[in-house]
Amino acid sequence: MYIQDQLGEIKAGIAAAEQRAGRTPGSVSLLAVSKTFPVEDIMQAYADGQRLFGENRLQEALEKIPAMPADCRWHLIGPLQRNKVRKALAAGFAMLQAVDSLRLAECISRIAGEEDCTARILLEVNVDGEESKHGFTPEGLEEEWDSLTALPGLDICGLMCIPAPTENPEDARPAFRTLRQLAEKLRARGPLPLPELSMGMSHDYTVAVEEGATIVRVGSAIFGKRDYSA
């Protein structure tokens, strides 16, 4: 019951934020981040109608995807190594969210060509400019935009970010706004419609919705506290 109650609360929170921001009801997708949680927990969310799930480690996803009903859709939200790209494409993810360099995008493009498929991806942007973090810098993404959009076999659906954790959800707003404004700039430049903005997690998803998120990635607020010891 717990998981279904939490899901209900998050969906209500999304709907309220959509309304506050004057956005179309239902314009935000809830990605339930199930990393570290067992299939029994994910099935509880499934029983409540949830179909969109996110995992951040490929190996863990490869174990869970076949154990869940086939109408689930899975996003890989964690970093992807180039030597795992073929495996990730074979797993049938609906989206690879954390494509964080031109080099990785080129690799996915090449292997998608070999496997005769199109990979739906998001480009990860390092919105707060910490050097240690994954992702394109906003300037770097603009510089490499023409190279990225020329790659065959990729459907670049939009942008994603994982800003540094903040004490107060409001403090994440500038990062979310940066991502939205960057997407607007790239849309104006063309040639892609870039419909998706993946941003916002358990503690700040309502702020992300107000700033234009189309996908929020919520884990612990649905499934509970994670235990990484297993």
Q: Tell which positions 39-68 bind ligand PLP, by CB under 6 A.
A: 56
H-run or E-run covering 78 = none
- In angstroms, the CA 47 to CA 201 distance is 22
Q: Which stretch binds ligand PLP (CB under 6 A): 20-28, 41-49, 142-150, 213-221?
A: 213-221
Under the binding rule (CB under 6 A), the answer on residue 99 touching ligand PLP is no
Q: Which stretch binds ligand PLP (CB under 6 A): 2-10, 19-27, 146-154, 214-222?
A: 214-222
Name which position in 17, 50, 78, 121 contacts ligand PLP (CB under 6 A).
78
Under the binding rule (CB under 6 A), the answer on residue 135 touching ligand PLP is no
Phi, psi of 152, deg, nearest 5: -75, 160
What single-letter amino acid sits at 51?
Answer: R
Q: Tell which positions 137-176 bind ligand PLP, by CB under 6 A.
A: 162
Under the binding rule (CB under 6 A), the answer on residue 201 touching ligand PLP is yes
Query: In sequence order, what are the beta bridge partners of 121?
Result: 96, 156
Name which position in 10, 17, 28, 33 contacts ligand PLP (CB under 6 A).
33
Instruction: Write the CB contacts of 211 (distance below 8 Å, at least 6 apart in sequence).
Output: 21, 173, 176, 177, 179, 180, 199
Name which position in 23, 35, 64, 180 contacts ligand PLP (CB under 6 A).
35
Phi, psi of 162, deg, nearest 5: -125, 80
Sequence length of the chain is 230
Binding site for ligand PLP (CB under 6 A): 33, 35, 56, 77-78, 162, 201-202, 217-221
